[in-house]
Chain A
């Protein structure tokens, strides 16, 4: 038995039956990291020896009955824009290359309460801006299915690490698709929760009104378990919702009879790869077979979602990233003779080109004279997007779309063409704009054997419906049983 092949709920069962130990699990993972990390390069920081030490301590405490949490000793990987006390949080940027936060993000505190073990910090596009993890200032993470392709992004390190069994599960963050798209590219499950379900405290902000932390896992049940751990109102984040706690594993009923699924036809139009379309059609047929009621409808406002997204996200980012000024922490230029030089040179040298591009875009759309035409207009469209989704959810329980117009593309093919890169977000951004939950699960592979992702969108706080729908589908097609990453290629 390869421990790293198991899902977390399987690991937990075996722990409970004392078939394996906490130390064995950690050891299996650190061994796997040693073996495969050089190919995948999913991490920015690995904590292998620390994790083994921690495993021992937790094991002892569990034996003495001092720790009773159900998932104590399960390892996890954390995207490197989520602050971890005493451990570097770099956002894969030169700007924060040596930044160590003196505090834990709220989600990290919650994981510590569960006695999970941090295996390391996972690579990403710099400041979560990008869809391929090629914009990491440190290294490009490879897709375990084909090492010549990207893992997607920005949570590419998280998705690749889960796919390559370097971690059993991971936390990512999603501003416009950064959990779902890499999950889709890497053939794993990625859930972006409803805006406000998970505290953002300690998540280094990209676009505050869009960012959410969420799970990237091997299967839907694990996603529900990890979601259980991280949800809840946080006094430190006033945008986090005060809401009764839900056990998301309880909604996995393996039954979609009578479920009303809406298919927004705009998500199947031009630019969507034919093989992706075909795979999605098949998934739709599967849902019909399982007793769901499927209907096509028009969500035409989605055509404006991408433009809206890039205006709002860049505007907020231009302000959020102002604090990286070389004054208090982070990168400071060696080359200055006055204050303006410190600002100009620290930021010019510390940020990568994509981050700079978005800061400039965002600064522009907020500038006086342009504010009304761009930012204000985008906010108005945002209201319309929300409204059209609300109307759709009066008729349907969930919506079904592709997660990404294509499968994972080859490294280097899009990184020099920002517009093409932005278009890869077309299926996911409207979900963030509307603040809704979305999950990506694998629904098949293309002719090259690369995974294709299906996105299910729920109404506000409708995580239960999409988790159940995803779970039921997963149980039916059993994707993991017949498809595994092959670590193809990778000659470089």
Chain B
């Protein structure tokens, strides 16, 4: 049998750090990047006698996430202890949720490559605390524990095994990330680990209904690695089966450098987490009113923005999709178009040149340095004919380097468009004189020659000449 005879089945458990100001069970800050163990207190260090107090914001954020992903919200929920020993887990148990998660039975809709829509079901969303971090040999010898992250709130979003390809998994993750950004419950900074996924992969022969044995890759924090890991792991499993082998249910480690998965080989003791309700915390009871209130204050979701962009601004479905995939991009778009009143131009700039530069610089949309106002002003300058589009591109580069008022940039750089008839005529005459062949070509009916001449004139003026005026004047002269 060949690879095409198999189907990949993927389930994802996504951990998203919530962007609450304080930790889930104490009042330490959640900020990333502080000096080791400075964001700690007796509670998150699990000193004897200390007790957790649930941060109500965490419940609110999780309920928001549940509502935004079409989940049912539990009116009656609780916290459970997940017991295991590890140095980054100070209490030797993680406070999580076992059999009564806050949110259940949701779904997220993704768009497939053929344009079809597919619902990916969510099993549950529950709240839990993050563990600390081990630093191996970073501060001299040995492993040192940093508990700054211990107690940072997380939601775990568990999908049903509905995903059938690495591409679908990627689409799902992108969609999920964008929803969490829109409702402002997580900043989803993958490079800081605030969004990470455990990936479950199995394969089965097409047409069968039973799932194959799955393997799990934990704590993956880049879309690219996830896609590569899924593809590699699926291929590996198919090879094993084709060779008559059996897939073992195990946790694997994905190595990004070699592009392979490795067995963790730590099966000495199959973990028994001995979940039980945390007696230090009271049950979480949510009223209809509470849930209704969150529902009514939920911000606009990408789905609805997308529809609005098509209807209100006449953008294409593709452009609307791309713009709304990132909340930052979408916000920038809305704000800038509100100022310059040219939605299409803003969309074009964001999706072409801005996106290109982001790619080149390997930046995320939230790292765009300039303001919506600056972008809008640049577009207005083009619209007014003060600068050409070509100069606009240069201004954009400048905005990435040192964001400031575009007007100032063009003044400093001397990029103001030449719209003076006399000056333009001078250039036109010079170019015509220097290119007799092109003149002859045009007169012989080769319209393309006009483009060449305009191009030469632009080159001569370093892009500053008003292209419409150039065009007009060349035509006038050539027709004489």
Are B42 and A367 touching (Cβ within 8 A)?
no
Are A83 and B87 touching (Cβ within 8 A)?
no
Which of B88-96, B314-322, B339-347, B469-477 faces chain A?
Answer: B88-96
SS class, residues of chain B in contact with chain A: loop
CB distance from B142 to the nearest CB of A (A): 11
**Residue of B with least CB distance to A201:** B51
Which of B219-227, B273-281, B406-414, B434-442 faces chain A?
Answer: B273-281
Are B83 and A319 touching (Cβ within 8 A)?
yes
> A315-B276, A322-B93 are known contacts. Are A205 and B49 too (CB-CB below 8 A)?
yes
A–B pairs, 22, beta carbons within 8 Å:
A96-B48, A103-B42, A201-B51, A202-B50, A205-B49, A235-B53, A236-B53, A238-B53, A238-B280, A239-B279, A319-B93, A322-B85, A322-B92, A325-B85, A327-B90, A328-B46, A363-B274, A366-B83, A366-B275, A367-B274, A368-B272, A371-B276
Give Cα A325–Cα B83 distance, bound, in whole angstroms: 13
> A102-B47, A236-B53 are known contacts. Are A322 and B272 too (CB-CB below 8 A)?
no
CB distance from A466 to the nearest CB of B (A): 25
List, in ascending order, chain B residues with CB within 8 A of A209's CB.
Answer: 279
Are B91 and A238 touching (Cβ within 8 A)?
no
Contact with A along B78-117 (1 / 0, CB 8 A): 0001010101001111000000000000000000000000
A:189-205 near B, CB below 8 Å: 200-205
Give Cα A82–Cα B48 distance, bound, in whole angstroms: 9
- Assess whether A208 is interfacial by the CB under 8 Å rule: yes
Are B48 and A322 touching (Cβ within 8 A)?
no
- Assess whether A310 is interfacial by the CB under 8 Å rule: no
Are B280 and A239 touching (Cβ within 8 A)?
yes
List, in ascending order, chain B residues with CB within 8 A of A82's CB.
Answer: 49
List, in ascending order, chain A residues with CB within 8 A of B48's CB.
Answer: 83, 89, 91, 96, 99, 101, 204-205, 323-324
Residue A323 contacts which of B52, B91, B276, B281 (CB distance < 8 angstroms)? B91
Are B51 and A238 touching (Cβ within 8 A)?
yes
List, in ascending order, chain B residues with CB within 8 A of A81's CB.
Answer: 49
Interface residues of B (CB under 8 A from A): 42, 45-54, 81, 83, 85, 87, 90-93, 145, 272, 274-276, 278-282
List, in ascending order, chain A residues with CB within 8 A of B92's CB.
Answer: 319, 322-323, 325
A:82-117 near B, CB below 8 Å: 82-83, 89, 91, 96, 99, 101-103, 105
Are B51 and A200 touching (Cβ within 8 A)?
yes
Most B C-beta atoms less than 10 A away, residue of A82, A319, A329: A319
**Residue of B with least CB distance to A363:** B274
List, in ascending order, chain A residues with CB within 8 A of B51's CB.
Answer: 200-201, 236-239
Residue A319 contacts which of B87, B90, B272, B276 (CB distance < 8 angstroms)? B276
CB distance from B141 to the nearest CB of A (A): 14
Most A C-beta atoms less than 10 A away, residue of B48, B50, B53, B91: B48
List, in ascending order, chain A residues with CB within 8 A of B87's CB.
Answer: 325, 327, 339
- Assess whether A316 is interfacial by the CB under 8 Å rule: yes
List, in ascending order, chain A residues with CB within 8 A of B53's CB.
Answer: 235-238
CB distance from B5 to the nearest CB of A (A): 37
Are B49 and A202 touching (Cβ within 8 A)?
yes
Are B274 and A366 touching (Cβ within 8 A)?
yes
CB distance from A120 to the nearest CB of B (A): 18
Are B91 and A203 touching (Cβ within 8 A)?
no
CB distance from B133 to the nearest CB of A (A): 14
